[in-house]
Structure 1
Amino acid sequence: MKLPRVSAVVAAAVLTPAVLFPSSALAADAPQPTGVSGPDTGSEGGTTQEDLDRAEIQKILADKESGVSVREAAERALAGTAADLRRFLEVGLHDARVTDDRVKGFQILAVGGPAVKKAAEAALRGTYADLVAFLKEGQYTARAQDDRAEIERILADPETGRGVRETGQAALAVGTPAALRHFLEVELPKQQADDDRVEVARILFKGGPAVKEAASAALSGTYADVVKFLKEGQYAARAEDDRAEIEAIAADPQTGRHTREAARKALAGDAAGLRRFLETELAAVRMSDNRVKVSQIAESGGPAVRKAALAALEGNDQAVLAFLEHGWAAARAEDEADAAKPTTQPAPQPSQSTTQPSAQPTDRPTEQPRTTPAPQATATPQAVQAVARTTTNGTGGTNGTADAAPRSGQLAATGAEGLGWEAGAAAAAVAAGAALVAVSRRRRSTED
């Protein structure tokens, strides 16, 4: 019974090294993780795996593309053991880069244009491979689309200056992402500065006294002064000029009632009210006053002025202005010319008349001589004398020369005292007519 027990102890002693040593050999032959240094295993040059890992991590820290998370994790690993170094390189580096890349994706999303935002959102919702592809290529393609849209928007702005417009059109003609980005980052600021100075010069040329002074100061200063003038200074200076102009309008004695009231109301308001009065309200209230003035002219003017004024009031605003500028003067000149003409017309002279006395009585109206029917004949002096003798009852008595007409009440030689001048004149007209008839008949008999 003792022999079998001793044999079992001996067998156990013999088998123990065979069980233990093969396990150690297998452990020594198993492949080690890459970059993980074995316990105190060295090389011929004395460089350990820990030294290699440490150098690799320091290289990662020196890379400018390394993000915040990668740097922080790398610094923690360098402060730890060899196992910490190896753990960072195998696991921690990847996790930190994922975090940094997602942060970059959100940063780009926050500042990007419409196309970039859309691409960034898609990448952040996808896999890490999608995010890496967006950071390497996708963001630049999307940004080129946004750059083109931004340049087109700038060119469509009517306030865009000449320099910006020309260089922007040139960038669009090239069309590459680099050309578009170069315009927005380099050319645009430069051309914008030049165009802004040109704009200040234009405002100076057209502005009032206060605007001219402020614009000159801006052009003499820095570009920041130019920008400040365009954004704020020009409006403050223009408000000063507007106020001065409106005060002059209100003080002008030729300003109408409606215009003066509106001007005073504007002076009580702000800068926007001053500008609104000059740009929109002034023309309307002045036209109202112009129509009132034309109505007053129509009431007090002459016939031509009244006619022209009423015609202007029936027309549009241009007709009213035309009347006040030149129509009123022309119509007034017409009325003055009519007033200068003589008010009485001279009595028409007969084409054929008989011999009349050279003097007419001053206390009687002038009678127009009668005309005889054709043929016309002129009475001879002999016939007139015969008529005179007939009317003086054959006595031939006259008072004065043969050319002097007998005065009223001087027919004593005829025996008709107080007969009157009218009776004598009538008798003379009848006798003259008879003489003319006789002469006419004599001429026809001679012709026959």
Structure 2
Amino acid sequence: MKLPKVSAVLAAAALAPTVLFPSMASAAEQPKPTGVSGPDTASDAAADHDSAQEAQDRAEVQRILANKESGPGVREAAQKALDGTAADLRHFLEVELPNRREHDDRVKVAQILSAGGPAVQKAANAAFGGTHEDILKFLKEGQYTARAEDDDRAEVQRILADKASGPGVREAAQKALDGTAADLRHFLEVELAEQRQIDNRVKVAQIFSTGGPAVQKAARAALNGTYEDILKFLKEGQYTARAEDDDRAEVQRILADKASGPGVREAAQKALDGTAADLRHFLEVELAKQREDDDRVEVSKLMSSGGPAVKKAANAALDGTYADILKFLKEGQYTARAEDEANAAAAAKPTPPAQTQNTGTGQDQSTGQAVQAANVVSTTGSVSAPVTTTGTTAATSGQLAATGVDDGLGWEAGGAAAAVAAGAALVAASRRRRSAES
């Protein structure tokens, strides 16, 4: 039968551990040989852990050293730790790093305080009086908030000092400076634009009240327009309009000037009736041309009515340049006119006769001339009676008298009398001849 065989197998399986395990246990319980040891796995694991920790610490210290935010104190201690042992690295990370960081952060706050404005200095001093958390909060946020306040204050002060700022802007700016950081910000973001617009409109109104026609017209258009129109008028329009008013005033002055000629007057009036461009064109182009034309006409008039010297000088000026024309009108005409007057005066003055020598008796030869002309025939053919004088010759009304001595008339009067007498004698003789022939 098969049953006994199966039981034998099971019995063997049951007895096997009893046979095997005692032998193993006895082997384990046997003493080991003296001087022989197995591998120390615990020591190797500890050594590996220390090596890995050192590598990790070294990497962390190197990272801190490379960080731009690390301060000088942290850098110095980190470098010292890198040059030391694993214990130095661990001591730096666990002890020195927090102390060094706080010290460097306080140095940063001190530097910011020294260069900051009033708000920054106030916030920095408050941080110094607190914990390291307060220091960190100032460095992360507080300094920027305080700096913005200082920047706002500086900007408001600049606006207040600007001469271009109007009264409304100045008043609001001063009020903001006397307030809080929020007041400064509100002024810059809201009030400034509003006050500037009001002040600029007031400026335009003031310019309108004192300006000329063109300025008033442009100012009125700006006031009736947008704020952009106001700004454009203040920046450009007022000056363009003022130039037009100045040009108009200058043209009016030229028109009222008595020295302006007809051509200038006509062109000036035409410009006044035109645009701003017409006024400018007249002053820059037409005025000089019309003045030259009028001056040439004036020289022509003087030449036509003047004497020989004036005609000659005027003709030379007309043949020359405009500078010659101006010189003639300013000086030349007067010099030439004086020359003409002198020549006319010389021509109107009688030419004195040649003087004669006295005779030994002291009598003037005019006496002999008077005696020769004694028989003067009148217009009716009669002969006048001879007149005899002793040393002098007397003349009736209409006749000249000459003395034998120099009594004030001199040789001129005697010569003239002789010439008249001789002429009269010639006339009488001629008439007698014609009467005899008839």
TM-score scaled by structure 1? 0.30
CA radius of gyration, larger in: 2
Question: TM-score, length-normalised on structure 2?
Answer: 0.31
